Structure formats: structure tokens, C-alpha cells
Amino acid sequence: MLILGESGVGKELIAQLIHRASHRSEKPFIKINCGAIPANLLESEFFGYEAGSFTGALKEGKKGLFELADGGTLFLDEVGELPLEHQVKVLRAIQEKEILRVGGKKTIKLDIRIIAATNRDLEAMIREKAFREDLYYRLNVVPMTIPPLRQRKEDVIPIALELLARYNTAYGYQKWIHPEVMDCLLNYDWPGNIRELENTIERLVVTSMDDCITKDAMAEIKSIDVHPAPNGLTSLKAFLEKEENRLLEEAYRLMGSTRKAAAVLGISQSSMVKKMKKYGIEIQN
């Protein structure tokens, strides 16, 4: 499988979800950032080495990342950064379903699901002789393109709520996001995609002085235009009620229960149920 998309769109998250939904879910999920390992260490990191195979090698040898992923999923992140001279070795490991450790004489059979990801145009790299065509077609059996966050605005609120729940738990808070701030999040294009949204939500949770994260807290950490609510007290009330309704629906849909949704929004379960009844939001039994 090959996952394509801009940096930060959530390619690793998609790979993890695919792994968890598969029969390999109880086995390892091993990530390799192909652009983060120095070229002279790639082979030993990928395939491991035998004892005494080079100066500084562990006396008992070492398993490589391919071997550690046996039975599970190997995620080749930023596969477009893989040096050309190492691509043939990766191709062989995928095709033959076996690896040879550095300094080894006996191949090791492996059962691995390969998921690769990149933000590069691999077809252009093939034309430029920078990426092997045979490796590309081996990886591109099931292609998946993840659109940038600016093209899927409907995902911003659910992702923001999930991140809010994660960081509330991590830092021991029960903070909630004011509807005006949610509107700011929706009207921003997120050039850094999910990674930028995640960074923003974490900073809001950490830096906000109050349980309610307001647009003032947002202004302190990020330059995002705030689209004002309609003029007048009556229209402001209607606007806020509309946003509250939307937040309640999104939180309940995402979390699946009034208790969990209430925790994410920083309100009691009884208040959650009362508000849902007020807006006519159906509660599933």
C-alpha cells in the first residue's frame, strides 16, 4: 500500500488505523523514517547485523527494523527519501519476503505487511531516475491519497475534539473550546495540516488560563482571523446557540456516548443530556 499526501495530513495515523483493523493488530507496528537515517547506517538499521560484522557492532548482533516487524506491519515513511542504492535491497526484501543481516550468510524469512508513504511525486522521480520504477509498482498496489486539511473542512472539528480529549487527559485538565474559537479553526486553511492543528490544540490546552479556551487565548499563540458573529445581541445569541448545537452533535458523534462527550466538552453529563434535548439531538440507546 502507498499513502500519498502533503506533510502533516496524517499518513502515519492512517497506516496505524489500517494496522489496527487488520488481523495483524496484535503484532508490531514498526515505523521507519527513510529520510532520518544516515545513508551509511541504513542497511544495518533496516536489516540488522551479525556479531562482529563491523567495528562497534554489538557482540550478540542486532535485529533490524524489518525483522522487528515480523508478523506485523512495517511503515516506510517518507519512502521518497530512500537513497537509490538502497532501494534495490528494500525491493528484494519485499519481493522475496526475506532479509540478510549485514555480515550474515543465512537469509531470514519474514511475514510483513508493507505500508509506504510519501509527500513526493514518485512518478516524476522515476522519470528523473531518482526512484526505481519496479519498487514504485511493488508499493503502489493499493494507492491512497489523503487530501490536505483545507480540502476537508468537515474533519477539522472532529479532529480538534479528539485532540482536545487527548491533551486534556495528558495534562489532567477538563478544558473546552468556545464556539468562536471553533469558528476560527474552521476558517483557517491549516497549511501544516493535522500536525499544525495538533500543535495548536496542545498549546491552547497548556497556555489557556481558564477552562474555557477563548479567542483571546487563540490570539496569543496564533494569527488566525476571527470572523465576527452577526451584529446585535439577538443575532449573537442565535449564532452561539447554532455553534453550541454543532459542537454537541460533533462531540456526541465522535465519542459515542453522552458521558465521554461531556468530558471532552468540559461539562457534566446531565448538562450534556439537557442541552441535547434542548436542540433535539437524538440520543442513541
Q: What is the pTM of this model?
A: 0.68
Cβ-based neighbour number of residue 62 at 10 Å: 18
Q: What is the reported pLDDT for 154? A: 86
Contacts of residue 112, Cβ cutoff 8 Å, sequence gap at least 6 = 66, 69, 70, 71, 72, 73, 74, 97
pLDDT tens figures, 183-201: 889 889 999 999 999 999 9
Residues found in the chain? 285
Average pLDDT over residues 72-85: 96
- Are 114 and 1 within 8 A, CB to CB? yes
- Cell 508513504 sits at which residue? 117
pLDDT tens figures, 132-141: 999 999 999 8
Q: What is the reported pLDDT for 240? A: 64
Residue type, 45: E
Q: Is 183 exposed, middle or buried (0-12, 13-18, 19+ CB in 10 A)?
A: buried
User: What kind of architecture, by CATH, is found in domain 150-278?
Assistant: Orthogonal Bundle (1.10)
Q: What is the reported pLDDT for 233? A: 39
Q: What is the reported pLDDT for 273? A: 92
Q: What is the dotted CATH code of the domain comprising 2-146?
A: 3.40.50.300
> What are the boundaries of each domain within the chain?
2-146, 150-278
Contacts of residue 28, Cβ cutoff 8 Å, sequence gap at least 6 = 68, 69, 70, 71, 72, 73
Asked if the model's pLDDT at residue 234 lies above 60, the reply is no
Contacts of residue 111, Cβ cutoff 8 Å, sequence gap at least 6 = 70, 71, 97
* 3 state SS of 72: coil
What does the alpha-carbon distance between residue 79 and residue 2 come to, in Å, rounded to a whole number?
9
Asked if the model's pLDDT at residue 5 lies above 90, the reply is yes
Three cell numbers, residue 23 = 488481523
Average pLDDT over residues 21-48: 93
Same fold, 2-146 and 150-278: no
pLDDT tens figures, 150-170: 998 888 998 899 899 999 999
pLDDT tens figures, 101-141: 998 899 999 999 999 999 999 999 999 999 999 999 999 98
**Element spanning 116, H or E:** strand 113-118
Beta pairing partners, 33: 77
Q: What is the reported pLDDT for 224? A: 67
- Are 28 and 34 within 8 A, CB to CB? no
- Are 246 and 265 within 8 A, CB to CB? no
What does the alpha-carbon distance between residue 122 and residue 4 come to, in Å, rounded to a whole number?
10
Average predicted confidence (pLDDT) for the chain = 88
* Residue environment code for 214-245, b if the CB has 16+ CB neighbours within 10 A, otherwise e: eeebbeeeeebeeeebeeeeeeeeebeeebbb
Of the two residues 237 and 31, the one the predictor is more confident about is: 31
